[in-house]
């Protein structure tokens, strides 16, 4: 059973003392009847494994659009689309095919959500913005000297994020006040890139915070030295196990991943690299040339999933490797996205959504699905993003449970604070969730404790 509080009247003139008493009583009622404490979404794709899996249970009958953040222009991506053809594999244009984009990592404003605060980095305003999750109102913003392509990572009241200006920043999560910043290079020369002036070492990997350290990489071209960095999260110092200098030929971009023992860096068309987290030494690469892209995750059963572009054809695929030996385990033709929970993997392709048993690879169920851009798991519901829509599916049988319209291709999803946040390639962020009680009170709406109606949760 669940409870619903109905608005029954509007008071245009209520004393501030009465409003405070009303708010306090209402807060107590909400706390008593609240089914669970909401979970945070503290970094890109929820965690340093980029799993896209949260224990947050969302009540679908409450998920209505509450607000929409609208950017003045769409995200200004670092790499726009795929190459028109591959001269190394095609002797002429007649035999060429258009390559699938392999550096499509920043087409939306991905979000981090902690409590009632939502954070996102912007490649339009070169800033990190903080919005109220309930109202969508901006609380503050912090500006850098270059595009911010990944959302900040939250840890212990602080936010950590990288910028194309070559710095990683640490700011206060409450008010956006500056704490420290760090650049791995002392070279201050700038070059023209995407209508901006940036150094040769932009930070396009986002950040991973683990065991009091902040990890990130800085790179642009493969004929320059790249940097893999480990900093003290409190001070920004690189003393001790700090700055790792990587030789030429490595161009890290796409979200950095961290496990207790390793760091994983993506490169786009080149194979992912694995590093020792303690000393930064190279452990090797994963997969062959062309088995790459800027999408990957670490699974609970010790697998590295990478993709999603096929270097030798105009389509997609996902491949799984053992995280210790780096040996190939499985390939998912046409695979676009994957999430793993327990002994089940949920695979998203261009046209379908499937559940697969991890122990033997057998198919549990498969349903048609035209939402190929992003997949997350929140509690017992899968959410998939498509063109102008987002759809929820049951993990039990793949049945469609819920759908809503959005503006653009939904390529970013996050579940937190009892709400679903959808980021699209138009620069919009849609919030779907229950109505905000605080927002109603701020609009001089009063709630009567005598009008609490009880209904069964279907």
State the pLDDT at residue 93: 53
pLDDT, tens digit, for every residue of 242-286? 667 666 667 888 999 999 999 999 987 778 899 999 888 888 888
Query: Which domains are assigned to the chain?
Result: 2-455 (2.140.10.10)
pLDDT, tens digit, for every residue of 136-173? 999 999 999 999 999 999 999 999 999 999 999 999 99
Q: Which of 217-226, 322-331, 396-405, 443-452 has the lowest mean pLDDT?
A: 443-452
Q: Is 285 helix (H, G, I), strand (E, B) or coil?
A: strand
pLDDT, tens digit, for every residue of 71-89? 999 998 887 655 555 555 5
Provide the phi-psi class of 95: left if phi over 0, else alpha when psi is between -120 and 50, else beta.
Answer: alpha
Asked whether residue 50 carries a pLDDT value surpassing 70, the answer given is yes
Mean of the pLDDT values across residues 363-371? Answer: 98
**Contact, 354 vs 336, CB < 8 A?**
no
pLDDT, tens digit, for every residue of 180-221? 999 998 877 877 777 778 888 899 999 999 999 999 999 887
pLDDT, tens digit, for every residue of 4-26? 323 322 323 344 444 444 444 44
Q: Say how many Å lie between the first and final Cα of the chain, rounded.
A: 9
Mean of the pLDDT values across residues 385-395? Answer: 98
Average per-residue pLDDT for the chain = 83
State the pLDDT at residue 197: 81
pLDDT, tens digit, for every residue of 220-248? 877 788 899 999 999 999 876 666 766 66
State the pLDDT at residue 239: 78
Q: What is the 3-state secondary structure (H, E, C) of 151-206?
A: CCEEECCEEEEECCCCCEEEEECCCCCEEEEECCCCCCCCEEECCEEECCCCCCCC
Using a pLDDT cut of 70, give the percent of the chain over it. Answer: 77
């Amino acid at each position: 059973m669940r409870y619903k509080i109905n608005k029954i009247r509007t008071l245009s003139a209520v004393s501030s003392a009465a409003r405070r008493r009303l708010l306090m009583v209402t807060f107590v009622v909400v706390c008593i009847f609240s089914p669970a404490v909401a979970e945070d979404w503290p970094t890109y794709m929820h965690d340093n494994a980029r799993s896209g899996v949260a224990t947050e249970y969302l009540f679908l009958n409450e998920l209505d659009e509450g607000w929409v953040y609208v950017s003045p222009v769409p995200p200004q991506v670092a790499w726009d689309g795929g190459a028109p053809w591959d001269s190394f594999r095609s002797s002429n244009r007649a035999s060429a095919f258009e390559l699938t984009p392999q550096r499509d990592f920043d087409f939306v404003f991905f979000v981090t959500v902690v409590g009632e605060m939502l954070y996102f980095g912007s490649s339009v305003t070169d800033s990190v913005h903080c919005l109220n999750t309930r109202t969508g109102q901006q609380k503050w913003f912090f500006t850098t000297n270059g595009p911010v392509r990944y959302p900040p990572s939250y840890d212990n009241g602080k936010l950590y994020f990288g910028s194309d200006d070559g710095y990683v920043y640490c700011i206060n999560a409450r008010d956006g006040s500056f704490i420290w910043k760090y650049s791995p290079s002392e070279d201050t020369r700038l070059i023209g890139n995407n209508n901006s002036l940036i150094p040769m070492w932009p930070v396009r990997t986002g950040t991973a915070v683990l065991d009091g350290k902040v990890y990130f990489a800085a790179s642009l071209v493969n004929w320059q030295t790249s940097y893999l960095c480990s900093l003290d999260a409190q001070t920004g110092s690189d003393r001790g196990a700090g700055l790792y200098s990587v030789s030429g030929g490595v161009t890290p971009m796409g979200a950095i991943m961290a496990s207790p023992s390793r760091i994983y860096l993506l490169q786009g068309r080149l194979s992912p690299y694995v590093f020792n987290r303690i000393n930064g030494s190279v452990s090797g690469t994963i997969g062959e040339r062309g088995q790459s892209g800027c999408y990957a995750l670490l699974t609970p059963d010790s697998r590295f999933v990478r993709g999603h572009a096929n270097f030798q054809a105009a389509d997609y695929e996902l491949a799984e490797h053992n995280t210790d030996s780096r040996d190939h385990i499985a390939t998912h033709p046409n695979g676009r996205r994957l999430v793993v929970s327990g002994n089940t993997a949920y695979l998203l392709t261009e046209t379908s959504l499937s559940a697969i048993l991890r122990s033997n690879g057998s198919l549990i169920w498969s349903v048609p699905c035209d939402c190929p851009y992003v997949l997350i798991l929140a509690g017992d519901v899968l959410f998939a993003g498509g063109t102008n829509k987002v759809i929820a599916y049951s993990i039990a049988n793949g049945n469609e449970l819920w759908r809503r319209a959005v503006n653009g291709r939904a390529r970013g999803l996050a579940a937190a604070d009892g709400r679903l946040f959808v980021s699209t390639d138009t620069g919009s962020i849609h919030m779907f969730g229950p109505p905000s009680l605080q927002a109603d009170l701020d609009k001089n709406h009063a709630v009567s404790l005598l009008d609490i109606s009880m209904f069964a949760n279907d």
